Amino acid sequence: MKQKRILLAILILMMASCQSKKAANLKTVFEQKDRAVFNVMVGKNGPSDRKLACLTMGDYKCALREIDAEERAFDKIIGEINALRTGDIKHGNELKTAAANYYTAVKELEISERFTIAQQLISQNKANTEAVRDAATHKQLQLSKDKMEMHKIISKKEQLYADAKKKFDSVNHLD
């Protein structure tokens, strides 16, 4: 009887350690995704860096291409996150959902730059009437206000993601 209890205890410990390995691996994957997003947004020669260089030179077509590259990079990262199998990992699905929601919001902000560039092109085109240029300038102001709201949404989703990470680490003993 005593041997059965010891065997049962060892079996439970082995199962718990397997769970921890899965959770630790999942945490590593999310850390890699965090670094990938960082590289897209602020990495040297990343899409955002190249977009800024294009805008500095006044090359709006180039900037739009880089926004497309940003969007593709975000879509790839978000797709990979959504494809993750969290299975029986405690709070894995919550972490996955929070990460995907956060990165989707960041992506939406980044690609909203397309609309700003389009309005900038209209407002700078001397072939357009003054009324059209003024309307484009007004639209740029509205887009700026919309971006402020998007920043608030991102901030909330970032907090949810951070909370999900903390909870995930805590329940999986990864602190």
Q: What is the pLDDT of residue 8?
A: 58
15: Cα separation from own chain's centroid: 33
Where does the pLDDT of residue 169 fall: very low under 50, low under 70, confident under 90, or very high at 90 and above? very high
Name all domains of the chain by residue range, CATH numbers in brackets: 2-171 (1.20.120)
Where does the pLDDT of residue 13 fall: very low under 50, low under 70, confident under 90, or very high at 90 and above? low
Burial of residue 14 (CB within 10 Å: 0-12, 13-18, 19+) is exposed
Where does the pLDDT of residue 163 fall: very low under 50, low under 70, confident under 90, or very high at 90 and above? very high
Distance CA 103, CA 154 (A): 9
Q: What is the pLDDT of residues 45-80, one digit of tens each?
A: 999 999 999 999 999 999 999 999 999 999 999 999
Q: What is the pLDDT of residue 14?
A: 55
Model pTM?
0.84
